[in-house]
Structure 1
Amino acid sequence: MADFAYRLAQKRNIVTALPGPRSSALATRRSSAVAAGVGSSVPVYAEDADGGVIVDVDGNSLIDLGAGIAVTSVGASHAAVTAAVAEQARHFTHTCFMVTPYEGYVAVAEELNKLTPGDHEKRTVLFNSGAEAVENAIKVARLATGKMAVVAFDHAYHGRTNLTMALTAKTMPYKTNFGPFAPEIYRMPTSYPYRDAAGLTGEQAALQTISQIEKQIGADSLAAMIIEPIQGEGGFVVPAPGFLPTLVNWAKANNVVFIADEVQTGFARTGAWFASEDEGIVPDIITMAKGIAGGMPLAAITGRADLLDAVHAGGLGGTYGGNPVACAAAIATLDVMRELDLPGRAREIEGLAKPVLQALAGEVDVIGDVRGRGAMLAIEIVKPGTTEPDPALTKAIAAEALSQGVVILTCGTYGNVIRLLPPLVISDELLDEALTVLAEAIRSAARA
C-alpha cells in the first residue's frame, strides 16, 4: 500500500519453531488459568502488531490474513486511533451514557446515521459486541411490529448468547449442549450458489424461501428476518444476485423488519462501506461491530427512526455500551478509512488476490470454489474431483501456512473454507508474499 507509514517492519521473519518457547510457556500458564472452552486457532501469543504483521512473544513476525476476524482493518495500532484512545482516556474512561452522557456517543451515532444505506431518518444505539447488537435489533423488531417470530437462515452465524445461538445455524462448537434456546426462531434456506441446484437464480431461491415462510410461519406472525449479506462463519457464502433484493421487497410489503447483520461485512471490508450497498438493498436495521473502532469493543444498531423510537425509555442501553474511549477510537477509525479510501483499498485487494486464487483453483483439484468480495475472500476445499467438503485438508493447509509464518482463518458449516481477511492497510508486497505461501501450502496438501 503506497504512502502509508508503518511502525513495525512489514516482513515475514521466523526465528523459532512455531510455537516458540515463550508461547509454549504461556500456553502452559493458560491451561491452569483460562477456561478450556475458550479456544484459539493459532498457538502463538502476540506481543506487538501493526499494519499487516503480528509479532509474537518469541520475536517471530507473521503475516496477518485474519485481522482479528475483520476487526483491525486500519491495522492493530494505527497512530490516529491510539492517539484518540489515549486522549480520551486522559479525560475520563467511563461515566455511563445512561447516567452522564457525552458527545462521543452522539458523534458516533451521527456518523452511522449518515454512513449506513438509505436516506430515511435513522436512529442509532451503541453496544459492546456484535451478539449484543443482534439481540437488541430483534428486541426492537418485536416491539415495533407487535409480532414475535424471527427467521434466520442456513449457514448463519449471529453470536454466542442464548438468543443469538438460536439464530446461529452451526451446532458445534457454538450450540452443542447449551440449550434450551430462545423460542420463535425459524430456520430457512439461503442462497449458496456453489451448492445450490444448477441454474437456480437468486430470485428463484428467494421465492422458495418466501413460500416456506408463508406456509410455516405466516407474514402476520413474522417480526423480522435477519441475514448476513455475505455469510461469515458459515463459509463466506455470497448469495446469488437477486436473492437479497427479493427478500427485502417481500419484507417491506408484509411489515417484516429486514435486519442486515453487517458485523463482519461492514466498514469497507467488501469494497463498500456496507455489503448491503453491493446488493442494492436498504435494510430496516443494520447491526455492526468488528471493524467499527480499530479493535476497541464497540457495536451498534442503526435503523429506521420509527422502529428505534418505538422503544420506551430505558428499554435499550447497557452500562458499558458506547464507552467513551471506544467512541473516540471509532471516530478516529472512520476518519482513517475515509482518508485512505479503504473501501477502494478493499477492491484493490480483491483485484490482487482473486486472480491468484482462481488460477490456483485451475491448477489443483482440491479447490471447489473461490468466492468473496473486496478483502473478504474464501477458498472452499473439497476432496479431489468432488464437491465433498474436506475439513481435515483445510486444517492441514492452515497449519502449514502458519508454520511458514502466515496466519489464516478457517470457517464454514462443514469446516472446509479458508477465509482471507487481511487488514485493509496491508502492503501489496506483503499480501503477495502471503498468497505465495498459501498457494504453496495448498499445492503441498493437494500432492499429499
Structure 2
Amino acid sequence: MTGVTARVAGWLGGRLMVLGARSGLDVTRMQVLPKRFTLPLRREVLDPVPELATRRETEPVSRLGRAFGMNVWIVTGYHEARAVLMNSAAYSNDLRPLVASEGSSEARSIGGLGFTDPPDHTRLRRFLTPEFTMRRLARLQPVITDLVERQLDELEAQGPVADLVSGFGFPVPFQVICELLGLPEEDRTPFHHLGPARFDMSRGVAGAFNSADQARESVLEVVRRQRAEPGEGLIGGIIRQHGDALTDVELAGLVDGVFLGGYETSASMLALGTLALLRDPEALAMIREDDAAVDGIVEELLRYLGVVQVAFPRFAREDHELFGQQVKRGDLLAVSLLAADRDEILGEGLERFDPHRPKVPHLAFGQGLHRCVGSELARMELRISFRALARRFPDLGLAADPTSLRFRKLSIVYGVEALPVRLWKAGAGDVDQGGAA
C-alpha cells in the first residue's frame, strides 16, 4: 500500500471516469455494502462461512453480482487465485477511477502500492524493498525481543486475568512499526486507534475511507516534518537517500502502507493466533518447549487464520476466459485468500489447524507483483511473540466463555475485539476473574 501517482490511468481509467461523470460514481460514498458482496468477509469464529467452500468446490471462479456497470467475481480456488494474483498484465489494481476526484485533499490522493500499477508501482517499490532485506531486518530482532518482554511485564502486572488484545496483541506490532519508521512518541497518538476502522466495511466503503483520510493527514504531517529534519528510521532514511526522487504524497503513501500493513495485520495475527493455540494446548506446548517447532506453527497459523481475508481488487484489462468463466473488460475480481488457503488440492484437512502439518504453500501475504513487502518482518515478530508468551505464561488459558467473544464483522482484516486470558492458575490470594478455561 503505497503512493498512487497520476500517470497510470489507461483505457480502464478513462472508461470508468466517464461512467463516474455520468452517474456520480464514487464508491467512497457507499454507506451500505450489499450483502451479496460481503461473502468473502463473513466468518464463523475462525472459519469462513460454508458458502465459500461450496463455491470453491463447485465453481472456484463465480459471479457475485453486478455493481457500477461491472460484474463482480469472487475467486476461491488456490490455483485460480494464484493465477489472478500473478497476472499483472491481465489485471489492473488502479482503484482511482472509482473514487471521485473533485475537491479531493492531498490525503485522499494517497493511494498505496496495492492500488498501483507499473510503472509507478515498480518505481515506488524500489524505494522500500531494500529496507526489508533479511540483513536489514536482523537489526530489529533485539528491538522486537525487548519490546515483547517489556509488554509481557506490563501484561503480567495486570494479572491474573488480562485482555491479550489491548495488553499484547496491539501494543507489540504498533511499537515495532513505529520504531521501524522512526516515529517519535509525539507523532504516534493519532495512529493508535485508526487502524481497525480503515478495514471495517460494516459502514460501507464510506466509513473506511473517512478513517483512512484522518490517518493520511497525520502521515502527511509526519513526512513534511521529517523532510525538513529527517529522523533515524525508515522515513528519514528514504529522505536522505532519495531526496526529491519522490513527492511528499508518494512518500506518505509508502509510510501509510508500511504502517497499516505492519500494524493491523500483525495485531490480528497475535490475538487470533493465541486463540487458536489456546484451542490446541499441544501446539502451545510445542512452541514453549521446542525452538524448532515455532517456524512451522507460525506458517500454519498464517495459512489457517487468513486474517487478510481478501486481496486488493483486480480489474480486468480485456475480455478473457478465466477457468471457464467469461470475464469482461472492466470487471472486478475479489480473490478470497482465506478460501484459497484452505483448498484441499494442496492437501487433506486444510479446514483444520494442525501444528504437525508439513509446510504447504499459502497466500497469506499475497502473491506476485503485490506480495507483501514486509512478510519476513511479520514472521519474525510472530515467532518471537508467540514463543515469549508461551514461555512466560505456561498455564495460559482463556478466561471467558468462548461464545461471548466478539469478532469484527465485515472487516477486510479479521480480528477479535478482546481476548480475556488467565495468565496463571488461580492460587492463594488470587481472585480468578475468568470464566471457562
Return the TM-score normalized by structure 2. Answer: 0.26
**Higher normalized helix content (fraction of residues):** 2
- Which structure has the higher relative contact order (CA within 8 Å, separation 6+)? 2
**Higher normalized strand content (fraction of residues):** 1
Return the TM-score normalized by structure 1. Answer: 0.26
